[in-house]
Amino acid sequence: MEWLEASTENCTVQRTLDVVGEKWTLLILRDAANGVSRFDDFRRHIGLSEAVLSDRLRKLTAAGILRTVPYQEPGSRSRNEYRLTRKGWDLWPVLIALRQWGETYAADPEGPVLDIHHSACGAPVRVVVECAEDRAALTPRDVTARPGPGAHRRS
C-alpha cells in the first residue's frame, strides 16, 4: 500500500495537533517548561485574553499535559498553579525542535531570547532524530516510511 492510498483518519500527528497544535497552546507549554505556573503570569507574559488562556489551560489539564496544584497567597483566596506532567514534559523535545528550527530560519538579528545549554559541559542543546537500535543520527534519506498497522485503505 502506498502512502496516498492510506487513510489518515487515525494519524497520530493529526491527533497530537488536535491537542497541542494551536499557537497559544505551544506558547503556554513553552512558558510552563521555563517555570511559569500561575494564570496571571501566563497571561501577562504571553499576552492573551483571560478567556483564551482559561480555555487552553482547561484543555491541557483535561488532556493530562498539565496538572493543577492549589496555592494561596496570604489574604487571598485559594488558586491553582499549572505544572507540566510527565506527559507534558514529553513535549519538551518538540519545543526544542521548534526553537532550533526558528533559530535557523526565523532568528532575531539580536540573538535568541533564551540560551539552552547542557548543564554539565555548557554545550548548546539540539534535537536529533536517532535510530532506536544503535542511536545513530538520521536524516530523511536514512529512513523508510511506510503505512503502519493502523493505516487503512482509502475508500
131 phi, psi to nearest 5 deg: -75, 135
Distance CA(143)–CA(147), nearest Å, equals 13
| Three cell numbers, residue 41 | 503570569
For 59-77, b/e burial (b = at least 16 CB within 10 A) is bbbeeebbbeeeeeeeeee
Answering whether pTM is above 0.85, one says: yes
* pLDDT tens sequence for the chain (155 residues): 677 777 777 788 999 999 999 999 999 999 999 999 999 999 999 999 999 999 999 999 999 999 999 999 899 899 999 999 999 999 999 999 999 999 999 999 998 888 999 999 999 999 999 999 999 999 999 999 887 787 776 66
